Structure 1
């Protein structure tokens, strides 16, 4: 197994992958859910490092953490442009995670994988229903 494969497999656990895979979603929605789940885990670590709630993290703090992430080193196949892209993905994941937490009435840190997957599944279902009703 290449270093790249090993690093990419660490993004989600097999259980998290299975949770996403059984959801009734398009490939695009599954990708978004996977990114949100990984981002949630990363954001929890970042918040712990900075000793503050996820909701108070600044984009620069997130970007700095991604820059220092040992799994994203060049020897693992990750260059600076990927790190920048990945930091933007984690930062943008704050939007749906904030919405999910708000709808659940909890802090982002308290979100669970099933809650994240369920929200993305609901959003996908709503989008499909809207597309069907408008055609």
Structure 2
């Protein structure tokens, strides 16, 4: 399984979700949950803590910092690239 900052769901994972016996809303939520896990893992890594220790404020701060970095240095290679 390989991922990069612009891919929060691998093609293999997407196929697995598509094959799952889930309704479309459940498939969407599954994709969102897998992607969220990737983001939370990166945020925890950046904060040097376990995912369980992250507070909502730390998550918000991380996203604000990412946005600031993209605005100030568009080619800086931030984690989120869109």
TM norm structure 1: 0.44
Report how many residues are paired.
65
The CA RMSD measured in Å over matched residues stands at: 1.7
Structural mapping, 1:99-118, within 5 Å: none
Higher helix content, 1 or 2: 1
Larger Rg: 1
Distance 1:64 1:13 in 2: 27
Q: Distance in 2 between matches of 1:18 and 1:66?
A: 29
1:60 matched to which residue of 2? 57
Mapped partners of 2:34, 2:61: distance in 1 = 20
Residue 28, structure 1, aligned to residue 25, structure 2: yes
Runs of 5+ consecutive residues of structure 1 not aligned to the other structure:
1-6, 77-135
User: What is the TM-score of this pair, normalised by structure 2?
Assistant: 0.69
Runs of 5+ consecutive residues of structure 2 not aligned to the other structure: 1-5, 68-77
Q: Which residue of 2 aligns with 1:97?
A: none
Match of 2:11 among 10, 14, 22: 14
